[in-house]
Amino acid sequence: MTDDASVLAEADYVIVGSGSAGSALAARLSESGRHSVIVLEHGGSDAGPFIQMPAALSYPMNMARYDWGYVTEPEPHLGGRRLACPRGKVIGGSSSINGMVYVRGHAQDYEGWAQAGARGWAWRDVVPYFRRMETSHGGEAGWRGEDGPLHVSRGPMTNPLYRAFIEAGREAGYETTDDYNGRKQEGFGPMEMTVWRGRRWSAANAYLKPALKRRNLRLIRCLVERVVFDGRKAVGVRVRQTGRPRTVRARREVILAASSINSPKLLMLSGIGPAAHLQEHGIEVLADRPGVGGNLQDHLEIYIQKICKEPVSLYPSLNLAAKAWIGARWLFTKTGLGATNHFEAAAFIRSRAGIEYPDIQYHFLPVAIRYDGKAPAKSHGFQVHVGPMRSPSRGRVRLAAPDPAAAPSIQFNYMSNEKDWADFRTCIRLSREIFAQPAFERFAGPEIAPGDEVTTDEALDDFIRGAVESAYHPCGTCRMGDPDDAEAVVDPEGRVIGADGLRVADSSVFPRITNGNLNGPSIMVGEKMADHILGRDLLPPDDREPWLHPDWEARQR
């Protein structure tokens, strides 16, 4: 599968994708100065205010300039709806278009990774890499990083609704936590964001842009079409730039960090994947790996929205004049309502007794509005985004055509298990109970969505079917595992099973989804994989015990 296109460039390491993991990889692989590194990115600059202003987060993920624009196939359990699946097509990848929420995940998530065959990825192994990558502002001392490239901050919580949400959780009998990314995830408390000095602190700002000042790191804009092999060894990638096919050669390794959608797509275009599927598209099979594109997971969420009886929500900030003032203030001072993502309070709770660690996540927002910025309620309001963390449903990514420019076929198979429906009904009922606590008495008016009259299982299911949305956390499609595991795609060092000189390092390698948002774990994968690639000693493991509810077997809260 060699390539005769002219050579555009050559380096020791070629990284496909400048996103969360790719930017971290580029910085770490190039920092000694001993290795040359090329990063390939199809998207362009992240310089616009829609990306850099945190409060403008709903814009870039809906702009073709910054987003691949993927949508799912009709989802059979959601009435045939096609859901958006945004992926960043810009410097910084999805870290430049996401909601900037920072969550490490729960310690038990990574114990699950290790048990699934990702040896060396247990909590004790990964937490040192989280500390290496972070500079935490306000996090728990000793558990958080203090001098890493990724600034993690907290909002000012000046709106009284944030405190009401946390207090209502306490009144309902739940734990509180000052740092869900520290020893104790479970409970209600402040939410963390990748924002620094009023700007989105994407992986591009944290890692890639500073590293590009080095002479041994280069960024090239192009569309990557497939990996080029000499026998079974990856020796580069075929790219298209200004309409011409070219080759970017790798002296040591090719590393795919192109997202949980595009990394499996590139593997399949390169002859690595389910053999019968590749043959259907006329692609020569290099390695029959049935797991490529499988194991696709995501978080779904719904919005529980309430009218706010007091005029304290962000509703007045939604008109054009207010937005202009907020934007101008941010542009000149990087302060004010433009300098936060407005997700400043959060919770992680367990849905019932017998659940060992949290399986429900809350994002609280002091306005009633969709995540994409559409259909705001015509009044003061507030809402929670709530959803289960560990759905048993699994989907797949497949090629729709052998054309590298064609979008892949994406089917999440959302809500395909009865447990999904029971879990979402529980989410709604627990949310209503929280909003009924004394802390919300002065604020909570009628329910906008689902609506106070929606109470039966059947009515709740109808609402869920029509209203549930992706939280935009796809992962798992090139999962790590034991090389003898037929469904594994990469080994615990990210090496593609059945090929040489080729690795994957992004959220597609997750054996299973982690609690919460995936930007943090994706960057951690890039950090840790860099040490594997360079053959360096891994950071010493951390054997401190994280907090688990002492009576989790008998109590829900």
Which element (helix H / strand E) includes 467?
Answer: helix 457-467
Q: Is 39 annotated as a binding residue?
A: yes
Q: Is 131 annotated as a binding residue?
A: no
- CA dihedral angle for residue 336, residue 337, residue 343, residue 344, rounded to 10 degrees: 40
Q: Is 527 annotated as a binding residue?
A: no
Q: Is 545 annotated as a binding residue?
A: no
What is the C-alpha separation between 337 and 326, in angstroms, rounded?
Answer: 6
C-alpha distances in Å from residue 170, one per residue of 186, 444, 527: 12, 17, 36
Q: Is 312 annotated as a binding residue?
A: no
Q: Is 15 annotated as a binding residue?
A: yes
What does 342-363 look like in DSSP terms, one character per residue?
S--EEEEE-SSTT-SS--EEEE
Q: Is 41 annotated as a binding residue?
A: yes
Q: Is 263 annotated as a binding residue?
A: no
Q: Is 154 annotated as a binding residue?
A: no
Classify each residue of 402-438 as buried b or exposed e, where b means 16 or more C-beta atoms within 10 Å of its C-beta: eebeebbbbbbbbbbeeebbebbbbbbebbbebbebe
Of residues 312, 343, 338, 341, the one with CA closest to residue 326: 338
Q: Is 38 annotated as a binding residue?
A: yes
Rg for the chain, CA atoms, rounded: 23
- CA dihedral angle for residue 513, residue 518, residue 523, residue 527, rounded to 10 degrees: -20
Q: Is 18 annotated as a binding residue?
A: yes
Q: Is 3 annotated as a binding residue?
A: no
Question: Which single residue is written with the structure tokens 């997971």?
Answer: 297
Which element (helix H / strand E) includes 237?
Answer: strand 233-241
Q: Is 509 annotated as a binding residue?
A: no
Q: Is 32 annotated as a binding residue?
A: yes
Q: Is 191 annotated as a binding residue?
A: no
Q: Is 548 annotated as a binding residue?
A: no
Q: Is 17 annotated as a binding residue?
A: yes
- φ, ψ (nearest 5 deg) of residue 166: -65, -40
What is the C-alpha separation between 16 and 100, in angstroms, rounded?
Answer: 23
Q: Is 399 annotated as a binding residue?
A: no
Which element (helix H / strand E) includes 381?
Answer: strand 381-388
Q: Is 13 annotated as a binding residue?
A: yes
Token output for 541: 């493991």
Q: Is 490 annotated as a binding residue?
A: no
Q: Is 28 annotated as a binding residue?
A: yes
Q: Is 25 annotated as a binding residue?
A: yes
Q: Is 37 annotated as a binding residue?
A: yes
Q: Is 498 annotated as a binding residue?
A: no
Q: Is 507 annotated as a binding residue?
A: no
Cβ neighbours of 391 (radius 10 Å): 23
106 among known catalytic residues: no
Q: Is 256 annotated as a binding residue?
A: no
Question: Which among 42, 106, 380, 473 is annotated as catalytic?
Answer: 473
- What's the DSSP call for residue 96? G
Which element (helix H / strand E) includes 435?
Answer: helix 418-435
Q: Is 36 annotated as a binding residue?
A: yes
Of residues 371, 451, 348, 384, the one with CA closest to residue 161: 384
Q: Is 35 annotated as a binding residue?
A: yes
Q: Are 363 and 346 in contact (CB under 8 A)?
A: yes
What is the C-alpha separation between 302 and 378, in angstroms, rounded?
Answer: 19
Of residues 90, 108, 66, the one with CA closest to residue 552: 108
C-alpha distances in Å from residue 185, one per residue of 130, 151, 524: 15, 19, 18
Q: Are 367 and 340 in contact (CB under 8 A)?
A: no
Looking at the DSSP bridge assignments, the partners of residue 75 are 81
Of residues 433, 527, 21, 62, the one with CA closest to residue 260: 21
Q: Is 216 annotated as a binding residue?
A: no
Q: Is 225 annotated as a binding residue?
A: no
Of residues 493, 467, 468, the one with CA closest to residue 480: 493
Classify each residue of 452-484 as buried b or exposed e, where b means 16 or more C-beta atoms within 10 Å of its C-beta: eebeeeeebbebbbeebbbbbbbbbbbbbbeee
Of residues 538, 225, 259, the one with CA closest to residue 397: 259
Show binding-site residues for FAD: 12-41, 90, 98-101, 224
Annotated binding residues, written as ranges, equal 12-41, 90, 98-101, 224
- Residues that are catalytic: 473
